[in-house]
Structure 1
Amino acid sequence: MSKQTIFILLIVLQIISLLVSNHILLSENLYFNTFAEQLTYEQIENIINEGKKWEWVSYVVLPILTLIKLTLVASCLSIGLFFVTNTFSFKATFRVALTAEFVFLIPPFLKILWFALFQTDYTLQDLQIFYPLSALNFFDYTTVQPWLIYPLQLLNVFEIIYWVLLARGVSQVIERDMPQSFEVVLASYGTGLVLWVAVVMFITVSFTP
C-alpha cells in the first residue's frame, strides 16, 4: 500500500472520529451547563452558532496538522539514523511515522465511549482534559497546575506503544535489533518530544493568569 493511500486512510479515520465526537459529545446542553453561571442565554447561543459555523475549519486543518507532525517525527528519526548509518532516509522514516500514527486513532474512540456510556455527566472542561489511560487520570485535574496537565496527558499507554512501533519500524529500516533501534528513537524523537513539551509548558505558564 502506498504512503499516499495510508495517509488518506489515516485522515479519513481521524475525521470520522472527530465527526462522531462533535455530534455525540458536544451537545447544546453541554454548553448551557458549562457556561450557565458565567454567560447569558443569548451569549451561549452565539457560542454554539459560531461553533457550528466554523466547524468545517477543524476538518480542513486536521490533515495539515497531521502532515506537519509526521514530517517533524520523520525528520527527527532521519537525523537519528544519519548518525548511525550516515544516510538520510526521510522517505523510509516518514512511512514508519505514518504507520505508527494509527495507534492514536484509539484514544478518541475510547474517549467517546467513556463519556457516552460511563461518565455521562460531564462538562466541556472534562472533555478537553480527559485522555484515556494517561497519568492524568490518577489526579484530580482541578488540583493540578495547568503547566503539568499536558505532560501528564502525554504520559499514556498509547504513547508507549507509539515508541515501540517507531522502534520496530526503525529496526526494519536499518536492520538492527530492537534495543539499538529504541536507542535511535530515544535520541532523535525523544529529544524532539522533550523540546516540544518544554515549549508547550512555557506557553502555558506564560498565558495562565
Structure 2
Amino acid sequence: QQTSLKVDAKVPLLTLISRLAEQKGIDLMIPNIETWLSRGYQLAILGSGDAGDEQALTALAEAHPTQMYFYQGFSEDLARQIYAAGDMFLMPSRFEPCGLGQLMAMRYGNVPVVRATGGLKDTVVDYNQDKKQGTGFHFEDATAEAFDVAVEQAVAVYKKPATWSRIRTRALKRDSSWHASAEAYVKLYTGLLDD
C-alpha cells in the first residue's frame, strides 16, 4: 500500500527480491514484463546490481506506476512487506546452489515460480494437479519463453481460489528447519550402520 500499485485481490502480484545479476536470471524476466503488464498483472521488485537491468526496471516502473513498483537497493522492512503482500515469488535463476528467497517466500505464503535448478528444485515441490501436491511451480529451460509459461500456469491456478489456497497452505507448512534435516541425516547414518 505504500506504493502506487492498486490493491486488487483479483490481480496477481508477482514479486522478486534479488541481486540483479546474470546468475539470477533477470534477463529471463525483463523481456516478459511488458507482456505480464498487458495481461493486467502487477509486479513489485526489489534489488540492485547490473546497471542495465536497473535502468530497464526503472523505466518500466515509471511507465506503469499503477502496475509495477521497483525499489533500487535493499530494505529489509520493504523486503518483508513484499514477501507478505506477494502472490507469486519469481526466482528464474540460471543456477542456485541453495537459495533463501524461495524459502522466505513460502514462509509468507508467497508461492514460488522457480527455474528447476540446484536448491530451488530441491526445496520447491512442483505443482501437480493430478497428485494434488506442490508448493510452487518449476520451469526447466533457461529461456524467457519457458519462464512465461510457468508464470501463466501459476496464474491459471491462482484463478482457482480453493486450489491456490491449498498450494499456499502447503508452502506455509513446509518445514525448513534444521530439525527436518537432522532427522534425514540420522536416518541415513542409521541405515549405513545397519548395513
Fold agreement, TM-score > 0.5: no
Give the structure-1-normalised TM-score: 0.27
Q: Considering fraction of residues, name the structure with more strand.
A: 2
Q: Which has the larger radius of gyration?
A: 1
Give the structure-2-normalised TM-score: 0.28
